[in-house]
């Protein structure tokens, strides 16, 4: 019977082998995208989504590392999340009509 330590060691070795195989295939394009996006948002203070929307991050150059990291992650995610907006819009429109007709007392759960 294998111990918990032996299983954990095998899993760690397997994980390292998988990471080494992925890295041997060349640079990961998404990493390049992330670094390029962070550089752009630090310089301009905003990112532009696929549909031309600008998402502003005025505090991107803050000295607070936690906040800066939050804004960097948000800047990386914004263009990706914006690509799904057209797929969600037809699903949202019926709710918009219902709430408009219901008046100001409408509650959506």
Q: The domain that contains 40 carries what CATH number?
A: 1.10.150.20
**Is residue 105 one of the residues assigned to a domain?**
no
The tens digit of pLDDT for each residue in 42-78 reads 999 999 887 788 999 999 999 999 999 999 999 999 9
Report the 10 Å Cβ neighbour count for 33.
13
Crossing angle, helix 65-82 and helix 29-44, to 10 degrees? 110
**Is residue 20 one of the residues assigned to a domain?**
no
CA–CA dist 69, 56 (Å, integer): 15
The total of structural domains in the chain comes to 1
Instruction: Report yes or no on whether pTM surpasses 0.85.
Output: no
Exposure on the CB side of residue 21, measured as CA atoms within 13 A: 6
Instruction: Specify whether the CB–CB gap between 62 and 70 falls below 8 A.
Output: no
**Is residue 3 one of the residues assigned to a domain?**
no
**Is residue 37 one of the residues assigned to a domain?**
yes
CA–CA dist 30, 17 (Å, integer): 20
Give the mean pLDDT of 29-51: 89
**Is residue 80 one of the residues assigned to a domain?**
yes
**Is residue 108 one of the residues assigned to a domain?**
no
- Which residues span the domain enclosing 89? 27-100
pLDDT of residue 102: 54
Give the mean pLDDT of 92-109: 55
**Is residue 75 one of the residues assigned to a domain?**
yes
């Amino acid at each position: 019977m294998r111990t918990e330590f032996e299983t954990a060691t095998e899993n760690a070795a397997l994980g390292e082998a998988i990471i080494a195989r992925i890295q041997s295939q060349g640079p990961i394009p998404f990493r390049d995208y992330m670094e390029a996006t962070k550089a752009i948002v630090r310089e301009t203070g905003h990112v532009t989504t696929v549909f031309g929307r600008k998402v502003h991050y005025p505090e991107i150059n803050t000295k607070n590392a936690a906040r800066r990291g939050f804004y960097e992650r948000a800047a990386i995610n914004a263009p990706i999340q914006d690509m799904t907006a057209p797929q969600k819009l037809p699903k949202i429109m019926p709710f918009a009509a219902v709430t408009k007709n219901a008046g100001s007392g409408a509650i959506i759960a």
